Amino acid sequence: MAMLTRSRTFFKTLIPNTFRTISTFTFLCQEPQLAEPSISDSTPLPPNPSSGSPLYQQNWRNPIPNSVLDQSLVPLDFLHQTPSSKIQSLSRTLDVQSLMNVFADWMTSRRWADMKQLFEFWIRSLDRNGKPNRPDVNLYNHYLRANLENGATAGELLDLVAQMEDYMVVPNTASFNLVLKAMYQAKETVAAEKLLERMLQAGKESLPNEESYELITGMFFLTNQIDAALKYLDMTLKSGYMVSMRVFTECVWSCVNAGRLDTLASIIERCKAMDQNKALCPSWNLCNYIADVAMQADNSKLAFYALEFLAKWIARGENARPPVLLSVDEGLVVSALGTAARTYSATLVDASWAILRRSLRQKKAPNSESYLGKIYAYASLGNLQRAFSTLHEFESAYGNSTKASDQDMFSPFTSLYPLVVASSKNGFETLDSVCAS
């Protein structure tokens, strides 16, 4: 044993770090060696949730290299830019068409402030050829609308329209209509009238259209300047444009409230003569109001148009699915027949009776007052044949009534007195003509 120990010491002295003795004796001293670190090819450990890192680079055996971040499609500096800086960066990448597409997308989400800012950055930028960006009229009109929606005044919009010349862009009708909208909101009637005159004189591209006349006509109706409103409504009809339902309704209300019933009847007559305006029809309640006012004023022409409008509503209701059955109040018809008798309007008599029949839908006979009103109307017109024909219908409907109140309905001294007077107007000659027919 002593010899082996000395031999081991001797070899270590001769050649250190080259040979290592091997011993089979378990009780000999061992020299521990640290294992060299090695990277395992196995699956890395799961991330440490307490690290707080979104990429989980801590406590990984194979951490994600930072080079992945450098290869991102969106630069990190862009993500940290302010909204204004992002819009400015975007403006350098767009041409006219692509800018129009961006505007179309932003208009749906009502990003008017962003549209305004993007255009202002874009107009100061250069295109791909190094030349200043130049808008067309449609693109500039989008910019005008963005300013309008952001609360720009009519004066500010006029200044922007004037700047269009700097970009060699000629304003068109749509450009001026945006200014008219601002004037409509502020009820600037004097400025609107001057602007419309400018549009008429500027050329073909800026002539007023339906929207132009609607804005200025509606503005004058709202400010109760009826004569000026009727002037531009007349220009609308002469130009062959369609009158909007809003302007037509405002016209009806204004004329009725101002007592301009003949004027209203004339406008309705002109609208009926035009294919694009003959479908105009006020609301059901407004039609009843027109009829009532017209009958009180004994305006048979306007009363006839009111009944026509009511007949349209009844037809629409019957054609709807499911049907909506509208009916005219019979008292209104009696009033219409009285107006027809006083104004000698056979047309109003026929229209009144027709709409009454349609309202009743053959479910009941007209009231006795309606029959007497029709007889009185025909008697005043001198149409005794139709008067006695109506009397015959009246007798068929109420001749067998046992009510005490109905006994006087056929009295020649009370209910039928107008017919008696008309029949005796020319003595027996009148009665003979009736009997002969």
Residue 158 lies in a domain: yes
Same structural domain for residues 168 and 266? Answer: no
Number of domains in the chain: 2
Domain boundary among 156, 175, 203: 203
User: How long is the chain?
Assistant: 437
pLDDT at position 36, please? 56
Question: What's the one-letter identity of residue 71?
Answer: Q
pLDDT at position 314, please? 96
Q: How many other C-beta atoms can be found within 10 angstroms of the C-beta atom of residue 141? A: 21
Same structural domain for residues 217 and 270? Answer: yes
**Residue at token pair 């971040």:** 69
Same structural domain for residues 192 and 94? Answer: yes
Residue 310, helix vs strand vs coil: helix
pLDDT at position 87, please? 87
Domain boundary among 279, 298, 325: 279
Q: Which two tokens stand for residue 213?
A: 């006349």
Residue 133 lies in a domain: yes
Say how far apart CA 72 and CA 344 lie, in whole Å: 89
Cα Dmax for the chain: 177
Indicate yes or no: pTM above 0.85. Answer: no
Same structural domain for residues 196 and 213? Answer: no
Q: What is the mean pLDDT of each run of 10 residues along the chain (437 residues)?
A: 48 49 50 54 51 44 46 46 78 88 93 94 88 93 96 96 93 97 96 96 92 97 96 96 96 95 97 95 96 96 97 95 94 96 96 96 92 95 92 87 70 84 69 54
Can you name the residues that pair with 132 across neighbouring β-strands?
126
Same structural domain for residues 131 and 97? Answer: yes
Residue 341 lies in a domain: no
Which range of residues forms the domain containing residue 164? 83-203
Domain boundary among 203, 223, 238: 203
pLDDT at position 321, please? 92
pLDDT at position 48, please? 53
Q: Which two tokens stand for residue 208?
A: 């007023």
pLDDT at position 60, please? 43
Same structural domain for residues 91 and 149? Answer: yes
pLDDT at position 10, please? 46
Residue 436 lies in a domain: no
Question: What's the one-letter identity of residue 279?
Answer: A
Say how far apart CA 194 and CA 183 lie, in whole Å: 11
Same structural domain for residues 137 and 189? Answer: yes
Residue 262 lies in a domain: yes
With 0-12 / 13-18 / 19 or more C-beta atoms within 10 angstroms meaning exposed / middle / buried, residue 179 is buried
With 0-12 / 13-18 / 19 or more C-beta atoms within 10 angstroms meaning exposed / middle / buried, residue 50 is exposed
Residue 336 lies in a domain: no
Question: What's the one-letter identity of residue 189?
Answer: T
Residue 280, helix vs strand vs coil: coil
Name the phi and psi angles at 126, rounded to 5.
-105, 150
Same structural domain for residues 184 and 214? Answer: no
pLDDT at position 432, please? 55
pLDDT at position 3, please? 47
Q: How many other C-beta atoms can be found within 10 angstroms of the C-beta atom of residue 223? A: 13
Same structural domain for residues 97 and 192? Answer: yes
Residue 119 lies in a domain: yes
Cβ atoms 152, 185 nearer than 8 A: no
Same structural domain for residues 103 and 185? Answer: yes
- Which H helix or E strand runs over 203? none
- Residues 367-402 as b/e (b if ≥16 CB within 10 A, e otherwise) read bbbbbbbbbbbbbbbebbebbbebbeebeeebeeee
Cβ atoms 360, 366 nearer than 8 A: yes
The DSSP symbol for 151 reads T
Residue 109 lies in a domain: yes
Same structural domain for residues 123 and 178? Answer: yes
Residue 126, helix vs strand vs coil: strand
Q: How many other C-beta atoms can be found within 10 angstroms of the C-beta atom of residue 199? A: 23
Same structural domain for residues 198 and 90? Answer: yes
Q: Which two tokens stand for residue 235?
A: 């220009």
- Which H helix or E strand runs over 172? none
